[in-house]
Amino acid sequence: MVIGQPKQPLATSAVPVHDPVMIKEKDTWYLFATGMGISVWSSKDKQLWTAEKPVFSEPPTWAIENIKGYRGHTWAPDISYHNGLYHLYYSVSAFGKNTSAIGLAVNKTLDPASKDFKWMDRGKVIQSVPGRDMWNAIDPNLVRDDKNQAWLSFGSFWNGIKLVRLNDDQTAPAQPEQWFTLASRPRSFYLPDSVAGDAAIEAPFIFKKDGYYYLFVSFDYCCRGERSTYKVVAGRSEKLEGPYLDWEGVAMTLGGGTTVFEGSRDWHGVGHNAVITDGDKNLLVCHGYDAKDKGRSKLIIRELKWRNGWPFVTPMPE
C-alpha cells in the first residue's frame, strides 16, 4: 500500500480524490485522480475502493525540466483504451499559471498483478507557454470522432476550452494542426495575459449519445473546501468541433451552459466530472467537498439521467 493511504477498502463516499476518472477492465473498475504520481484506486462494485500504487514512483524527467516548480503532484488524469493499450493523459502545471503541459503514459493492462503491467511514459503531448498562448494545457480528455480519429479537449480559464486533433499514435497534434475553441466565459479585458483571470471554466469531458456530442465543463471555483462553488454544466453539438449550444440555444463560446449538477447544503463545489457507461446506465463521476468532514474532497458517483435529450443529476441528499 502507499504511505498515507488506507490499508482497508473505503466506501465511495469516503474516498479522498480530486478530478476523478474511471474505466473498467474485466471485472474491476479503476479510478485515477489528481495526486503525487497520480492516485489510483480499484473496486469490483464501485462501492468499496482499495488504494493502489500511484502511476509514477518518481516525477517524469521531462515534466521537471519543462515545468518550473513541478515536483510530482500530477493533475486531472484521463483514461481510455485503444489498439491494445490504455492511454492515460495527465497534467503538470504551476497553480494559477499557464506554464502547463499534458503528458501521456500507456499500459497494456491496469491489473497490477499481471505480468504485462508496466506504465510507459510517452512524454509531452502539448504545452502552453505564457506570453504565447491564451490557453492552459491542463484537464485533458480524449475523444474520438465519427471516423475514429482521436482528438484531445483540454483547458481552463484564459480563453477557455480547446480541442486539437491528434496524430495516429496519439502523442502529439496531427499535421497540419487543427485547433478549435469549444467553450469560454467572459474575461475581464484589463487582466494581463499571464493571469488566469475570472473566466472560471475548466475540466472538459465529451460524451457522445444519440447523435450528439455532449460537452461537460465545470463553472466557477474549485479547491476552496466548503467555499468552493464548482458546478457541472453542459451543451451539445452534432459535430465534435462544435458549436456547442445549451438548452436555450446559447453558444458555450459565449458563456452558455445548462446546469447538470451542483452542490447542496452538505456537499459543496461538485465538479470536474467524467461520464461512464455501466450496463444500460450512464454515471457521472466527480468530486465534491464534504461539509460534514471539514470540507474534504471526496468521490461522488451519481446516475446521469436524460430528459428530452438533456442530461441531469438529482441533487445530493442533505
Residues carrying an active site annotation: 19, 202
Closest CA to 186 of 157, 225, 147, 143: 157
Dist. CA 85–CA 154, nearest whole Å = 21
Q: Please state the three-class secondary structure of 206-247 as a single string.
A: EEEECCEEEEEEEECCCCCHHHCCCEEEEEEECCCCCCCECC
Measure the CA–CA gap between 242 and 151, rounded to whole angstroms: 13
- How many CB atoms neighbour CB 64 within 10 A? 15
Beta-bridged to residue 284, according to DSSP, are 275, 302
CA distance 240 to 151: 9
Q: How far is CA 289 from CA 40, 48, 71, 169, 228, in A?
A: 19, 19, 25, 37, 8
- CA–CA gap between residue 223 and residue 244 (Å, rounded): 27
Q: What is the DSSP letter of 225?
A: G
